[in-house]
A and B are shown apart, each in its own frame.
Chain A
């Protein structure tokens, strides 16, 4: 067992975990933040995407011990003072979610991308959004939503 500490959406956590415990299990089961979902557990679907020190990562492909000392952000941290993040608002406005299971992963992927590359081109945006899978929407409304949020978030 290993003692680890990280912050999740700004709140400090100290956990004792088995070395094999995945980060997504630690987030969901140990921290109780169930907004991050598990879709494949082999790093393809991206439902478990979170931000690790600002970088989108697949939390199913990481061990919890690898998050020691890091800052994690998940969908639960997007709201500020009760107001939705522009990406959350845009997903609603553009009907970019149906069942909603993949949505937190797409949101965190998009947040991570737009924070680093606010002026991302359309082509590059579609390309990066192809990292994650959605079975409901056919993606076009997701791309539109992220594009709309990018305009709003642009400095």
Chain B
């Protein structure tokens, strides 16, 4: 693979070997459950079996009487050691109508199944679970809110007994004169949509190990988190400890996909328990807990309208999104906000007004899952465009081509702002050309012939497409330090957190490019608050953009120091030197040179002697490049499906994904990120459904009931690349971690509707199980 985007580069832009693989492939990686400490106690949580109930009493005596049980901790036990008994983690927004900070442990009321009430600490997890079953909690069951639309109706019970309503937040994202646009528009189209997304289901669930070192008075917490620095700050705050008294480390993390960026009750309980009991403490979430205690995405109901002129050009979009918020505010309103922000983004939409109502329900809190609302927003927009194309007699690709933001208008300043108030400016790209690439490869033009041939055989095939634009690289910064040790080895530390996205490889590549091109000479530490003083962590497809560019800037500064010092030591001009492997050498006379170790030792200085060069002591630099504006990646998915009208089964025959994430640092990793997202998108479109009954009891709590895509469900996938480097950062890169998932559901819906167009089926919901599809068919043909 050549590095088309990085001319003359030696490492970045190339498919180099991942630095993560050697340990993982041998089974000697270290995930949090692999950490074993002497005297370690194991936690099992007592969790609510009810979606909503008052707690009248908690009696731990049965559990405490068991051999091997060391403690049963309730909120009353923890409260004296906490500055606050609630997790105050909500991102700021003026939209809140009530504050729902969840408790460290529930003590008066439980508001979803799985909410933790007490922690049992025992010599083994087996014993802890035995004992947890003996903790006697006296419940008084309360009325349940199981549906977010019903939650907002007058007279609905409330998810919290003391609340006056279930409205958690409301806001309207708007610009332009929408009322005038609709009043004057010759055509209006309306869709009522229900979009469900499920959980993240990283193959590794959450987990923590905490140990308190009394000699140093320091609590070390290994956590399978996407945001170790945030966890560190929150633990310091809630435990009233100084920054040096807590260290949060992410070991190898077995996937994140969103919910691991959240700060959880279990994080506090495990950390406090380790200090209280003076023993190492481990808690590993099991899969069933993951279903009932790890945050999810879930239901959104959209009532949306599109206004166009006779040529299908968009004049305005308006509507209302009702969003299932869950029982607590575990992050904020960023999922519905992200959905509404994504909806118009690929297109020229002169006027826009989308209201959001977030409703509390007696279910697990909703926070971002890979894509973070954007798949839903794209689904809403693309459904409207299909509706308009059908009514206006336009090809579905053509109506999109007429409305996509054209390349000649880049950079395109939309009237929108991000959740942080930063203007949304589409920085670069050629969206119509990207769509055309996908159409051409999928043979969109030839589909009618394929469809007619299939129909002649009694088969129903369809083709659909969807476009997305994704804000990536959310700022403001990520910390990276680069240091050449006296040994000559290069040490890189960052606040970025790795969870499978090849973050260490990415940073090693960027640093190696400047400092000798030897990846094996570089050690990258991610997600360790003791190694990096600042950090934000993994979310928003942000780390390659923010950490990558900080690493680039820091490595360039270290390179300048190396060359400056070596130039003095060798008495040659710095411009005549180059770094190759672990040596600095004279260009054209390679025998003249120094090792990085020699330069590093000289730059470290000796008492009473001058430093070499003018660059100051040490060969180190740290950077927190501030990039507030997001870089906008884009793409187009074309999906061809076959629908079995007898069974309702949907088979994806072909999937083409054309995208633009700016320059690719590692093309094979980019493809891997996209392919994982595409698989997730297929799951969201056809299989994944987090079901609750009318009492808000979760009824899909195993992976046999909640279906993830397997190898056999993956269709042939072709990924096509455009490279429009963003001007917003020195490397010209945009994020890609979430892109794959965003347009898939919308494209599948478009294709299924197309396959069944002769029946007049309208797809207004996702996912589409065979039963759902037969229901749509029956309704259309009734």
Contact = CB atoms under 8 A, between A and B. Distances in A.
Interface of A: 18, 20-21, 28-29, 32-42, 44-45, 47, 74-76, 78-79, 84, 88, 91-92, 95, 97-104, 107, 126-127, 129-143
Contact of A137 (B126, B202, B286, B675): B675
A41 B287 contact: yes
Contacts of B36: 29, 32
B203 A84 contact: no
B652 to A, nearest CB: 12
B354 to A, nearest CB: 31
B675 A135 contact: no
B560 interface: no
Interface in B685-712: 702-704, 708-712
B613 interface: no
B720 to A, nearest CB: 16
Given A37-B254, A101-B31, A84 B204 contact: no
A131 B712 CA distance: 10
Nearest to A92: B21
Contacts of A92: 17-18, 21-22, 25
A127 B672 contact: no
B680 interface: yes
Contacts of A32: 36
A136 B34 CA distance: 20
B28 interface: yes
Contacts of B740: 138
Nearest to B500: A99
Contact of A142 (B200, B680, B711, B713): B711
A39 B287 contact: yes
Contact of B255 (A44, A84, A107, A136): A136
B27 A95 contact: no
Interface of B: 17-18, 20-22, 24-31, 33-34, 36, 126, 200-205, 252-255, 257, 284, 286-288, 499-502, 668-669, 671-673, 675-680, 702-704, 708-714, 717, 740
B24 A100 contact: yes
B460 to A, nearest CB: 24
Contacts of A37: 31, 33, 203-204, 254
B24 A103 contact: yes
B126 A18 contact: yes
In the A-B complex, the 4 residue pairs with the smallest Cβ-Cβ separation, listed nearest first, are A35-B27, A99-B500, A101-B254, A100-B24
Contact of B499 (A41, A75, A99, A102): A99
B25 A91 contact: yes
Nearest to B256: A99
Contacts of B27: 33-36, 74-76, 78, 104
Nearest to A20: B126
B500 A98 contact: yes
B669 A42 contact: no
B381 to A, nearest CB: 25
B255 A138 contact: no
Contact of A100 (B29, B288, B672, B676): B29
A35 B34 CA distance: 8
A126 B254 contact: no
Contacts of B712: 126-127, 130
Contact of B252 (A79, A100, A132, A137): A100
Given A20-B126, A40-B287, A138-B679, A99 B254 contact: yes
B143 to A, nearest CB: 32
Given A34-B27, A41-B286, A101 B711 contact: no
Interface centre among A47, A95, A99, A104 (most CB of B within 10 A): A99
Given A37-B31, A99-B253, A139 B702 contact: no
Where chain A touches its partner, the secondary structure class is loop
5 contacts: A34-B34, A100-B254, A133-B708, A135-B203, A139-B709
A99 B703 contact: no
A79 B703 CA distance: 31
Nearest to A90: B25
Interface centre among A37, A136, A140 (most CB of B within 10 A): A136
Interface centre among A20, A78, A97, A101 (most CB of B within 10 A): A101
Nearest to B253: A99
Interface centre among B29, B205, B669 (most CB of A within 10 A): B29
Interface centre among A35, A36, A98 (most CB of B within 10 A): A98
A47 B25 CA distance: 13
Given A76-B27, A136-B500, 18 more contacts: A37-B33, A42-B704, A92-B21, A92-B25, A98-B672, A100-B20, A100-B21, A101-B204, A101-B500, A126-B712, A135-B202, A135-B255, A137-B676, A138-B677, A138-B714, A139-B710, A140-B717, A142-B711
Contacts of B717: 138, 140
Interface centre among B203, B204, B500 (most CB of A within 10 A): B203
Contacts of A97: 21, 24-25
Nearest to B125: A25
A88 B25 contact: yes
A32 to B, nearest CB: 8
Contacts of B31: 34, 37, 101
B204 A35 contact: no
Contacts of A91: 21, 25
Nearest to B29: A100
B495 to A, nearest CB: 19
Nearest to B252: A100
Contacts of A79: 26
A35 B28 CA distance: 6
Contacts of A100: 20-21, 24-25, 29, 252, 254, 500
A32 B255 CA distance: 23
A133 B675 contact: no
Interface centre among B18, B20, B200, B255 (most CB of A within 10 A): B255
A151 B363 CA distance: 49
A76 B22 CA distance: 12
Nearest to B23: A100
B203 A39 contact: yes
A130 B21 contact: no
Contacts of B702: 40, 42, 44
B26 A99 contact: no
A141 B204 contact: no
A39 B290 CA distance: 11
Contacts of A126: 711-712
Contact of A102 (B21, B203, B287, B704): B203
A134 B203 contact: yes
Contact of A47 (B17, B203, B253): B203
A40 B708 CA distance: 13
B210 to A, nearest CB: 19
A43 to B, nearest CB: 8
A34 B32 CA distance: 11
B31 to A, nearest CB: 7
B252 A99 contact: yes
Nearest to B24: A100
Contact of A45 (B21, B203, B253, B678): B203
Nearest to B713: A130
A39 B204 contact: yes
A46 to B, nearest CB: 9
Contact of B676 (A44, A45, A98, A127): A98
Nearest to B255: A99
Contacts of B673: 98
A41 B704 CA distance: 12
Contacts of B502: 98
Nearest to B287: A40
A149 B597 CA distance: 40
Contact of B703 (A45, A130, A139): A45
